[in-house]
Amino acid sequence: MRFNLADMFERVAGAFPERTALVCAGRRLSYAELDERADRLANHFLSLGLAGGDHIGVHLHNGTEFVECMLAAFKIGAVPINVNYRYVAEELRFLFDDADLVALVHQRAFSPQITPLLPALSRLRHLITVDDSSGATPPPGAHAYDAAQAAVSAGRDSQQRRSPDDHYIIYTGGTTGIPRGVVWRQEDLFFAGMGGGNPTGEPVQRPEELVELARGKDPPTMFPVPPLMHGAAQLGTFIGLLAGGKVVLVPHFDPAEVWRLVTEERVNAMSIVGDAMARPLAEHLEANPGVDASSLLAISSAGAIFSETVKQQLRRMLPAVMLLDNFGASETGFQGTGTPDASPDRGLKFTMNAQTAVLDGELRVVAPGSGVVGRVALSGHIPLGYYKDPEKTAQVFVTAADGTRWVIPGDLATVNADGSITVLGRGSVCINSGGEKIFPEEVEAALKSHPTVFDAVVVGVADERWGERVTAVVAARPGEAPRLDELVEHCRDRLAGYKLPRDMVIVPEVVRSPSGKPDYGWAQTVARERATLAMTG
């Protein structure tokens, strides 16, 4: 079967041309309009000499143009590359070079960062600028996005043959380290990250079933709130489009705007990233009890789990809405859902799919109830590896003695007697204090349950006696001034003694990625600087 994303989207668009496909920033596109705009952009790409396999950077805020770029690239067999719009010049230069970009579609506002990089990027030959209100001067020779679309036809005659083997690359920086491109076959990502066209049931066996499923039920309205430059929002968008549903986007996260769109567009499912989005959303609801969220059936979080404090806050105001913690990564797609009693406070427990296991150091499956700490792994539909990084690919994508190929991104876990998995955290941010392993998530959750704390990130700082000591980087609620002794006392009933914070740094705001993931590198720097000042002062 041909599970190619462009083919499948065109099949759905052809069956439901009048349905609304995308809503963002006042623009509404039907499936027919979205398909035509993507066709025009694809033909512009071809007119520039772009072809199958070429990498096209997408350096944009959320908008219909982001989705159009992805679809247009897929239509010609090219590969869209997500670009983090928070990157500074050196990070952009690294990504553009590492990803072998030959073309870049970018927000006009980013032109001052991009233009100085161009002389050192010989492969990057084509620039297309999406206009905005910035007034920035586009790079020399850049094409205007709207004019480029208007200048070509919407026909498909010249578009190239597509394949289930066409690549889909997600650049991910995670919480630490340089960005790496995760290379998927489109067919594998369709099944691993998009639910195989039927996230609530059995995956489809034929592409034709997408239309049959979409015709047999009311189309869903889905709202992936995070930036499309992150994989989870991309996957949520394609789940909605391949279901023949309406996808709502917001250019920038703003709680009031999110709830306005939920009300006006009658959103059924919303996806966010942990407390960084959930807490502002919950507090806006508390302050504005007239918000109509009656259409909302589920709020899911990926990339970070709800804390129990925020989960209870949302449940008080939205008692009929399911709150789902999803487990997965750019390297795995969707793997499982949190159990009803899961939270950072009480343990991150997940019910996983049949392709997920916990492996010990010898790549053997850990038995339920054994107490063995292993690494969460996925088999079946998994990526090909990391782009141009054979060493890291060999570390993360491994083959067991029985021939099974696994991807092991690095989360440590144990398997409970009932088969559920308790995830301890990413080994790369684990704190080792006196030989005891401390995972930041549970300490962060305990801190955020204190009434004076709005947000918190926890890191380890070098300690002569213990190796590392737990340090909390805390943003206070307005008008509050948390004290370390108060927070320690508050956490004492929730955490073992060795997990309690020994130091605290108060900051105006906890820095997170645009998707809401904690920036542990930033927190480490802040905590170390404070420790250095304490020693020298």
Nearest CA to 34 out of 80, 71, 75, 79 is that of 71
Tell me, yes or no, whether 124 and 58 share the same domain: yes
Has residue 53 been placed in a domain? yes
Are 232 and 377 found together in one domain?
Answer: no
Please answer whether residues 158 and 43 qualify as being in contact, where contact means their C-beta atoms are separated by less than 8 angstroms. Answer: yes
Phi, psi of 131 (to 5 degrees): -70, 150
Q: Do residues 124 and 56 lie in contact, with contact meaning Cβ atoms separated by under 8 Å?
A: no
Tell me what pLDDT residue 496 has. 76
Same domain, 439 and 375: no
495 and 407 co-located in one domain: no
- Boundary-marking domain end, from 401, 429, 457: 429
pLDDT the model gives residue 158: 65
Which pLDDT tens digit goes with each residue over 84-99?
Answer: 898 888 889 999 999 9
Task: Tell which of 429, 451, 475 closes a domain.
Answer: 429
Cα–chain-centroid distance for residue 25?
A: 21
Same domain, 112 and 170: yes
- Rounded to an integer, the average pLDDT of 420-448 is 79
**DSSP one-letter string for 136-158:** PPPPTTPEEHHHHHHTS----TT
> pLDDT, tens digit, for every residue of 226-266?
999 989 999 999 999 999 999 999 999 999 999 999 999 99
179 found inside a domain: yes
Domain boundary residue, one of 227, 252, 277: 252
Judgement on whether residues 93 and 212 belong to the same structural domain of the protein: yes
Token pair listed for 431: 């704190």
Q: With 50 as the cut, is the pLDDT of residue 176 above it?
A: no
Please check the confidence at residue 354 and state whether its pLDDT lies above 60: yes
* Sign of the torsion angle spanned by Cα atoms 515, 516, 521, 522: positive
Contact 210, 410 (CB under 8 A): no
**Residues 102, 210 within the same domain:** yes
Q: What is the pLDDT of residues 491-502, one digit of tens each?
A: 988 887 888 999
Q: Are 261 and 267 in contact (CB under 8 A)?
A: yes
Label residue 441 by pLDDT band (50, 70, 90): confident
- Using the predicted structure, report yes or no on whether residue 175 has a pLDDT greater than 50: no
Q: Is residue 23 part of a domain?
A: yes
**Domain total in the chain:** 3
Split at pLDDT 50, 70, 90, the class of 163 is very high
Residue 358 shares a structural domain with residue 243: no
pLDDT one-digit tens code per residue, 392-409? 999 999 999 999 999 998
Where residue 422 sits, what CATH number does that domain have? 2.30.38.10
Give dist(CA 384, CA 386) in Å, integer.
7
Give pLDDT tens digits for 276-327. Answer: 789 899 999 999 988 999 999 999 998 777 878 889 999 999 999 999 999 8
Three-state helix/strand/coil letters over 89-114: HHHHHHHHHHCCEEEEEEEHHHHHHH
- pTM, whole model, 2 decimals? 0.85
What CATH code is carried by the domain that includes residue 467?
3.30.300.30
Same domain, 400 and 436: no
For residues 19-30, average pLDDT: 97
